[in-house]
Structure 1
C-alpha cells in the first residue's frame, strides 16, 4: 500500500490501533499458568470487538488468531495447550484486517523472573527495531533499514536472522515491497516511496542466523539454527519526508 489520501491513512491507523490493543492486552495477561490458547482467545476477542479479522487466518488459514512463539521458537508458533512458565520468553505477533486494510505488529516478552541475559536481549531487540525505524524516510533506500540494524547488532555482539524479513503491508498482509532486509544487504537497491506502508521487524538473536522448521509435524513454527534464543519487535510504519509514522504504537 502507498498512502495517497487522509482517508487511507485513517483507515490504516484504525487497524493499527486494534492490533496494538490486542498485542498489549495479551502481554498484560502473560503470567505463569496461562496457556497460549488462552492468550490467543484474548487477542481474538479484541479483534472481534472491533470488527477486525485475523490476518493469518484470513490469508493463510493459520490455526489461530495470533502467532505465539515460546523460548527457542522464533516465529509462527501455534496457540494451544502449552502452559506458560516463569522465565519463559514469549513472542506475540498480531496482524489483522479491518475494512480491507491490514496492519501487523509484534513484540517479545520475558515472563518474570527470567534470565537477565534474555532481559537484555529483549531490551536490545526493541532498540534494534527503533534503529531501523529511524532510518525510514521517503526518498531514502530500503537498505538503510538493514544497515542501521546491522550496525547496532554488530556493536552489541548479536546476530540477525536473515531469512525472515520485513514486508509491505496494507492492501494485504504481505504486500509489495516484499522481503525488505533487516540486515545489511548490498544487493538491496530499492528506494522508499512517499507514503509507502511496510513493517520494520528485525529478529535479533544470541547466535542464530536462519529460521528453520521446528517440528516435523508442524509446518508453521520456526526456530533459529542452533536453537539460539531470538526476539522480534515489529511495527507497521508509513514513510514520509520527515521519517516514519508508526501506526501500531500503543
Structure 2
C-alpha cells in the first residue's frame, strides 16, 4: 500500500495502535505455567473488543488469533496446550485488520530469568529492528534495510534467518513489495514516498534458514539455534519513517 491521503494514514495508525497494544498486553500477561492457547485467548479478546479481525485467521485460516512461538519454534507457532516455561523465550506475532487496513507487529519476550546470552540476543534483536526501520526513507534502495541490519549482525557475531523476509502491507497482510530482505542483498528497487512495509529481522545465534516444523505452520531454525524477532509496520516519508505499531 502507498499512503496518498491523510485518512488512509489515520486508518493505518488505528489498526497499528490496536495490534501494538494487544502485543504489549499479551507480553505483560505472559507467565510460566499458562498455555499458549490461554495467551492467545487474551489476544483474541483484545482484538475483538477493538473491532479488529485477526489477519492470520481471516487471510490464511491459521488456527489461532495470534502466532505464539516457543521452544525450538521461531515463527508461526500454533497456540495450543503447550505450557510456557520459565527461562525460555516466547515470540508473539500480532497482525490484524480494521476497516480495510492491516498492520503487523511482533516481539520476543523473556519468561522469568533467562541466560545472559539470551538477554543480549533480545536487546540486540530489538536494536536490529530499529536499525532496519531507520533505513526506511523515500528514494533509498530497499536493499539498504538488509545491508544495515547485516552489518550490525556481523559486528555482533550473529546470523540472520535468510528466508523469512519483511513485506509490504496496509490493504492486505502481505502485498507489494512481496519480499524485503533483512539480510545483505542486491535488491534494486527503491522505497517510494508513502510506501507501507514491515521491518522484521530474525536475529539468531547461528541459524541461517527457517525449516518446516512438521505441522504445516511452525518454523524451526536451521542449523538449530536461538532466534528472536522484533517487527514494526512503518510508512516511508521523505524524512523519518512513521512507525504505526506503537502503543497509544
Shorter-chain TM range is: over 0.9
Q: Kindly indicate whether residue 42 of structure 2 is the aligned counterpart of residue 26 of structure 1.
A: no
Which residue of the partner structure matches residue 196 of structure 1?
195
Counterparts of 1:196 and 1:52, CA distance in 2 = 22
- Whether the 8 Å contact between 1:143 and 1:184 is mirrored in structure 2 is yes
- Correspondences of 1:44-63 after superposition (within 5 Å): 44-63=44-63
Cα RMSD between the aligned structures? 0.6
> Displacement of 1:72 after TM fit?
1.9
> Displacement of 1:227 after TM fit?
1.9
- Whether the 8 Å contact between 1:138 and 1:243 is mirrored in structure 2 is no
Deviations 1:172-214 (A, max 9, x none): 000111110000002x000001000000000000101100012
TM-score, scaled to structure 2: 0.99
Which residue of the partner structure matches residue 217 of structure 2?
220
> Displacement of 1:244 after TM fit?
1.0
> Displacement of 1:69 after TM fit?
0.3
Counterparts of 1:206 and 1:133, CA distance in 2 = 22
Counterparts of 2:246 and 2:27, CA distance in 1 = 14
Number of residue pairs the alignment of both structures matches: 247
> Displacement of 1:234 after TM fit?
0.1
Which residue of the partner structure matches residue 239 of structure 1?
236
Counterparts of 2:223 and 2:131, CA distance in 1 = 26
Q: Kindly indicate whether residue 193 of structure 2 is the aligned counterpart of residue 230 of structure 1.
A: no
- Whether the 8 Å contact between 2:209 and 2:223 is mirrored in structure 1 is no
Counterparts of 2:103 and 2:68, CA distance in 1 = 17
> Displacement of 1:145 after TM fit?
0.4
Deviations 1:114-139 (A, max 9, x none): 11111110000000000101111111
Counterparts of 2:142 and 2:135, CA distance in 1 = 9
Counterparts of 1:130 and 1:32, CA distance in 2 = 29
Counterparts of 2:113 and 2:40, CA distance in 1 = 23
- 1:12 aligned counterpart, secondary structure: helix
Q: Kindly indicate whether residue 159 of structure 2 is the aligned counterpart of residue 159 of structure 1.
A: yes
Which residue of the partner structure matches residue 183 of structure 1?
183
Unpaired segments ≥5 residues, structure 1: none
> Displacement of 1:162 after TM fit?
0.5
> Displacement of 1:226 after TM fit?
2.3
Unpaired segments ≥5 residues, structure 2: none
- Whether the 8 Å contact between 2:37 and 2:81 is mirrored in structure 1 is yes
- Correspondences of 1:4-153 after superposition (within 5 Å): 4-153=4-153
Runs of 4+ with >4 A deviation: none
> Displacement of 1:112 after TM fit?
1.2
Counterparts of 2:98 and 2:144, CA distance in 1 = 31
Counterparts of 1:142 and 1:244, CA distance in 2 = 13
